[in-house]
């Protein structure tokens, strides 16, 4: 971990006010604070603080939840991804430091997320603008914010909403063969499912590898919070599909069903997220613990071998070969802050880090 610690120290020094999003040739480019990725850098800082006890990481992480909270009181595009933003900034800050403002911010974000629930279709609405009936697989990961709030505020409403959305994922997203669609569109008035959409995947019937990874980790988390075994089984089904579809390098293409797959780019972020999900399954499943842990190690070994960025502390980014949005031809073969976050989380878990962010 020392090279990663050195790299993060240097990054913190050089990033200034930048909200890191993706990096080309070792330089992170920034995005707006309301963009879905804005919680991952503070999450990395909190993990590093928790592992090393070094104040510099705590100090660097401290102001992020306040910074993100300001997006709620100005014109912005906050949506279903507040879990990705506030779990690694506000909620982990509260868990590690007891800061009451951080707790308040986490609960505020959970209320905002709960307010996006559509009871007619039992789904949490994705994005804004005209997409009133859309739900996406990524939201599986945001449910942890609701589970946390249910326990923290002793208010089961949050739990019921999370579980309703989770059941919708089982019914409308995860296919019998373990593959997963990115977007499901519902009639927002009567709640009926209309169709599936390709979203960031190749097409409506395809299998966007990062979406599969969100499902593996998300379903394993729902099982941890609820104890309902159907979610663990669903996470395992998606995991088996994911593992069976890896390239010879043991890394995932950005979509498992894109034509001419060998010529298409990989997505290292999908591998890092899936590794965390597999570690979560391993901890939940005594019988098959070894199987899932070994599978996670297989992915992490491949990431280290094929995707590790140069160790030079000045070179920003931990992982190369991430693919953000291939259909839009955006962020292809780059470092992605969420790939870096989940890679660090997986390595931290293997080194004995016990706190959870998601
Ligand atoms: N949450 C959007 C993505 O995975 O790109």
pLDDT score at 138: 97
Tell me the catalytic residues: 81, 138
Residue given tokens 């990705």 in the structure block: 84
> What is the best residue among 137, 200, 272 to mutate for testing ligand 1's pocket, by most ligand atoms within 8 Å of CB?
200
Residue 287 CA, ligand 1 centroid: distance in Å: 32
Domain region containing 311: 2-350
- DSSP symbols for 219-268: HHHHHHHH--HHHHHHHHHHHHHHHHT--TTS--BSBTT-TTGGGSPB-H
Q: Is 46 in the pocket of ligand 1 (CB under 6 A)?
A: no
Which stretch of DSSP H or E encloses residue 331? Answer: strand 330-336
CA distance 149 to 91: 9
* The pairing of beta strand 123-124 with beta strand 117-118: antiparallel
Rounded to an integer, what distance in angstroms lies between the CA atom of residue 18 and that of residue 14?
Answer: 9
27 inside domain = yes
Q: What is the mean pLDDT of residues 281-292?
A: 96
Task: Extract the tokens encoding 259.
Answer: 């034509």
What CATH number does residue 71 fall under?
1.50.10.10
Q: Is 358 contained in some domain?
A: no
Q: Which atom of ligand 1 is nearest to the CA of 214?
A: 4
Q: Give the residue, by CA position, lying nearest to ligand 1 atom 2.
A: 138
* 357, part of any domain: no
Q: Is residue 126 part of a domain?
A: yes
Residue 108 lies in a domain: yes
> What is the band of 48 on the pLDDT scale with cuts at 50, 70, 90?
very high
Q: Say yes or no: CB of residue 38 within 6 Å of ligand 1.
A: no
Q: Indicate whether 355 belongs to any domain.
A: no
Whether the CB of 172 sits within 6 Å of ligand 1? no
Ligand 1 centroid, distance to 81 Cα (angstroms):
9
Determine the Cα–Cα distance for residues 48 and 336; give it in Å rounded to an integer: 18
**What pLDDT score does 339 carry?**
98
Tally of CB atoms within 10 A around 129 = 8
Q: How many domains does the chain have?
A: 1
| CB atoms closer than 10 angstroms to residue 204 | 15
138 lines ligand 1 (CB under 6 A): yes
Phi-psi region of 246 (alpha: psi -120 to 50; beta: other; left: phi over 0): beta
pLDDT digits (tens, 9 = 90+) for 181-193: 999 999 999 999 9
Got the DSSP string for 87-151?
Answer: IIIIIHHHHHH--HHHHHHHHHHHHHHHTTEETTTTEEPPSSTT-TTEEETTHHHHHHHHHHHHH
pTM of this structure: 0.98
Query: What tens digit of pLDDT does each residue of 68-114 get?
Result: 999 999 999 999 999 999 999 999 999 999 999 999 999 999 999 99
What contacts 109, CB < 8 A, 6 or more positions away? Answer: 82, 83, 85, 86, 90, 145
Q: What percent of the chain has a predicted confidence (pLDDT) above 70?
A: 100
Give me the residue label for tokens 């019998």. Answer: 176
CA of 139 to the centre of ligand 1 (A): 9
What spacing in Å lies between the alpha carbon of 286 and ligand 1's midpoint?
Answer: 31
Encode pLDDT of 218-252 as tens digits: 999 999 999 999 999 999 999 999 999 999 999 99
Q: Is 160 part of a structural domain of the chain?
A: yes
In a domain, 196, yes or no: yes
């Amino acid at each position: 971990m020392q090279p990663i610690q050195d790299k993060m120290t240097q990054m913190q020094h050089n990033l200034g006010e930048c909200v890191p999003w993706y990096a080309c040739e070792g330089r992170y480019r920034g995005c707006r604070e309301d963009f879905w990725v804005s919680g991952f850098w503070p999450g990395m800082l909190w993990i590093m603080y928790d592992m090393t006890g070094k104040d510099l990481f705590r100090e660097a992480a401290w102001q992020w939840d306040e910074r993100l909270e300001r997006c709620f009181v100005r014109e912005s595009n906050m949506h279903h991804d507040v879990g990705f933003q506030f779990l690694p900034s506000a909620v982990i800050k509260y868990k590690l430091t007891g800061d009451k403002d951080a707790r308040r911010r986490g609960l505020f974000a959970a209320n905002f997320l709960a307010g996006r629930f559509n009871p007619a279709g039992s789904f949490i609405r994705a994005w804004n603008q005209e997409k009133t009936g859309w739900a996406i697989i990524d939201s599986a990961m945001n449910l942890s914010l609701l589970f946390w709030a249910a326990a923290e505020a002793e208010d089961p409403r949050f739990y019921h909403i999370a579980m309703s959305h989770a059941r919708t994922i089982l019914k409308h997203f995860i296919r019998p063969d373990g593959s997963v669609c990115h977007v499901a569109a519902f009639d927002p008035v009567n709640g009926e499912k209309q169709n599936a959409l390709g979203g960031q995947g190749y097409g409506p019937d395809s299998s966007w590898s990062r979406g599969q990874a969100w499902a593996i980790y998300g379903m394993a988390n729902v099982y941890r919070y609820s104890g309902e075994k159907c979610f663990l089984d669903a996470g395992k089904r998606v995991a088996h599909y994911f593992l069976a579809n890896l390239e010879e390098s043991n890394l995932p293409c950005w979509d498992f069903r894109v034509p001419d797959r060998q010529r298409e780019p990989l997505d290292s972020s999908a591998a890092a997220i899936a590794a965390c999900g597999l570690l979560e399954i391993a901890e939940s499943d005594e019988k098959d613990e070894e199987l899932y842990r070994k599978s996670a190690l297989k992915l992490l070994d491949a990431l280290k071998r094929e995707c590790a960025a140069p160790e030079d502390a000045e070179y920003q980014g931990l992982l190369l070969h991430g693919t953000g949005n291939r259909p839009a031809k955006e962020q292809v073969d780059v470092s992605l802050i969420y790939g870096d976050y989940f890679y660090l989380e997986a390595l931290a878990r293997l080194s004995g880090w016990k706190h959870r962010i998601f």
